[in-house]
Amino acid sequence: MAAEEPAAAVDLSKMKVNEVFGHLCATCHGKQLDGGQGGSLIDGEWKHGASDADLFRSIAKGNLQLGMTPWEGVLTKDQIRALVIYIREKEKEARFKGLTFPVPEPGKVVKTERENYVFEMVVEEGLEHPWAIAFLPDGGKLVTERPGRLRLIDAKGKLHPEAVEGTPEVMAFGQGGLLEVAVHPNYTENGWVYLGFSDGWREKVPGKEKSKVSALTAVVRGRIKDHQWVDQEWIYRDDKKFYGSSGVHFGTRFVFDAGYLYFIVGERGGLEVAQDLSMPQGKVFRLHDDGRVPTDNPFVGKDGALPGIWSYGHRNPQGLDMDPRDGHLYDTEHGPRGGDECNLILPGRNYGWPVITYGMNYNGTPMTSETYRQGMEQPVTYWVPSIATCGLSFYRGDRFPQWKNDLFVGALKQKEVRRLRIIDQEVVEEEIVLKDYGRVRDVTDAPDGYLYVILNDPDCIVRLVPQG
């Protein structure tokens, strides 16, 4: 049991993690965690074990001989877990302090571990909150703008001044709007363009000034003729009862494979709904590319389960792609604070949200100490502190031979593109290849062999081109 109870009668359960640290730990470990009577917690040196589990044990069990209080009994497991995340955040911050990444400049060469590239501007002006890009066989490109517009860049690289007319109305609020765009793998024959967006409606609430929005992720396909959206078909539009007013976690991101379409419906801020197979939120879906449910989906015929579900227990995936070498599907999920994940997505599996997570609440209150549970999947890798993952792409091209089949991960908050090398479903290398130009909304390889990056703030599209 704890040797010393905290002196003043403060309610620890309501405290944010930085307050808990300030209250209980700072006297010995320093306000900046840089040490005092107790050691530094940010110098990367751990006398009593360096893993998360070791830190957890150090805090819970303490070491009375050395003068470290055992905190179990005073703090809950969830609070101790939050402290571990907090220490990790500060440790990372300290490691990168003073380290500057060369901010890429158009035309300048950026050197990375395996390839050097020139950062080239594709569209510098005229886009508002671009979200995704798709490549047409003639060299043209389609770009979504979150407020609800589909834009065309012609084969010569010129942005058409007008949006494509007649695309579906979207609920543009919060993180919602027109999100994903992709062209069918047989686009040349069938002309299908797929859009993912927040679908829904607004209604007046009597006596209230603001109208109420109800929204959910939806998928359509259509064709573009004479700059008009035509032949529209709904691919995925779920029951109205699942529509909700939350403005967060819509998902989308499309992967086509063998006649199937994979896409994400985020958990819409609903947490536990991600575990409920009778609800679409927090799931990866697999449908035929025309919207029919494949009869061999994992939950087909299971009582109460939605048959389109491929995997569940997801929070806010914002990246999805398939390994060209072995057909394994990966996602990146925007976790809570400290819980961003990259997952190998297998049919029928449970990815654990919100039961297990490596994160805590954004405001620094604890969520759970559980990072592992039988019957739930562990991520391939995770990021503590969070990088705010967004956009995900394997590199299939030939122009960067040393990057072939590597996985590129975008990050909004950290303004990064990271390169992961995956061998046998394990991450064996991780490197930041681009940093600090803008928030990375999407990263994708392209038929021309370059790597395209969509940035927000500044809103632009750039590409990485081999040097020389």
Does residue 420 belong to the site contacting ligand HEC (CB under 6 A)?
A: no
Distance CA 378, CA 283 (A): 16
Distance CA 39, CA 45 (A): 9
Cβ-based neighbour number of residue 275 at 10 Å = 18
Q: Which of residues 77-106 bind ligand HEC (CB under 6 A)?
A: 83
Near ligand HEC by CB under 6 A: residue from 15, 38, 403, 410: 38
Distance CA 89, CA 85 (A): 6
Residue 28 or 355: which CB sits closer to ligand HEC? 28
Lookup result for tokens 């290849």? 433
Residue 82 or 255: which CB sits closer to ligand HEC? 82
Smallest separation, CB 56 to ligand HEC (Å): 8
Does residue 178 belong to the site contacting ligand HEC (CB under 6 A)?
A: no
Does residue 68 belong to the site contacting ligand HEC (CB under 6 A)?
A: yes
Nearest CA-CA partner of 252 in 225, 223, 278, 215: 215
Residue 46 or 187: which CB sits closer to ligand HEC? 46
Question: Residues with Cβ < 8 Å from 130, sequence gap 6 or more?
Answer: 123, 143, 144, 145, 146, 151, 441, 454, 455, 456, 459, 460, 461
Near ligand HEC by CB under 6 A: residue from 15, 17, 25, 213: 25
Residue 27 or 190: which CB sits closer to ligand HEC? 27
Smallest separation, CB 58 to ligand HEC (Å): 4
Near ligand HEC by CB under 6 A: residue from 15, 42, 55, 433: 55
Does residue 188 belong to the site contacting ligand HEC (CB under 6 A)?
A: no
Question: Residues with Cβ < 8 Å from 140, sequence gap 6 or more?
Answer: 152, 153, 154, 155
Could you say which DSSP state residue 60 is in?
A: H
Smallest separation, CB 436 to ligand HEC (Å): 31
Question: How many residues touch ligand HEC (CB under 6 A)?
Answer: 22
Residue 37 or 190: which CB sits closer to ligand HEC? 37
Does residue 360 belong to the site contacting ligand HEC (CB under 6 A)?
A: no
Question: Residues with Cβ < 8 Å from 270, sequence gap 6 or more?
Answer: 244, 246, 279, 281, 282
Please give the distance of CA 229 from its chain centroid, rounded to a whole number.
29
Smallest separation, CB 370 to ligand HEC (Å): 19
Near ligand HEC by CB under 6 A: residue from 5, 31, 48, 230: 48
Looking at 29, 184, 249, 334, which residue is catalytic?
Answer: 249
Near ligand HEC by CB under 6 A: residue from 22, 67, 137, 157: 67
Distance CA 149, CA 164 (A): 7
Smallest separation, CB 372 to ligand HEC (Å): 20
- C-alpha radius of gyration, the chain, whole number: 24
Residue 25 or 392: which CB sits closer to ligand HEC? 25
Distance CA 199, CA 171 (A): 6
Does residue 39 belong to the site contacting ligand HEC (CB under 6 A)?
A: yes
Q: How far is CA 1 from CA 76, 204, 366, 393, in A?
A: 12, 56, 21, 50
Could you say which DSSP state residue 275 is in?
A: G
Smallest separation, CB 356 to ligand HEC (Å): 22
CB 409 within 8 A of CB 420: yes
Within 13 Å of residue 88, how many CA atoms lie on the same side as its CB? 24
Residue 177 or 364: which CB sits closer to ligand HEC? 364
Cα-flanking dihedrals φ and ψ of residue 322, to 5°? -115, 135
Does residue 31 belong to the site contacting ligand HEC (CB under 6 A)?
A: no
Does residue 12 belong to the site contacting ligand HEC (CB under 6 A)?
A: no
- 249 included as an active-site residue: yes
Smallest separation, CB 99 to ligand HEC (Å): 23
Cα-flanking dihedrals φ and ψ of residue 282, to 5°? 80, 35
Smallest separation, CB 205 to ligand HEC (Å): 46
Near ligand HEC by CB under 6 A: residue from 58, 281, 316, 350: 58
Torsion, CA 408, CA 334, CA 344, CA 373, rounded to 10: 150
Q: Is beta strand 260-265 parallel, antiparallel or unpaired with respect to 451-456?
A: unpaired
Catalytic residue set = 249
List residues binding ligand HEC (CB under 6 A): 24-25, 27-29, 37-39, 41, 46-48, 55, 58-59, 63, 66-69, 71, 83
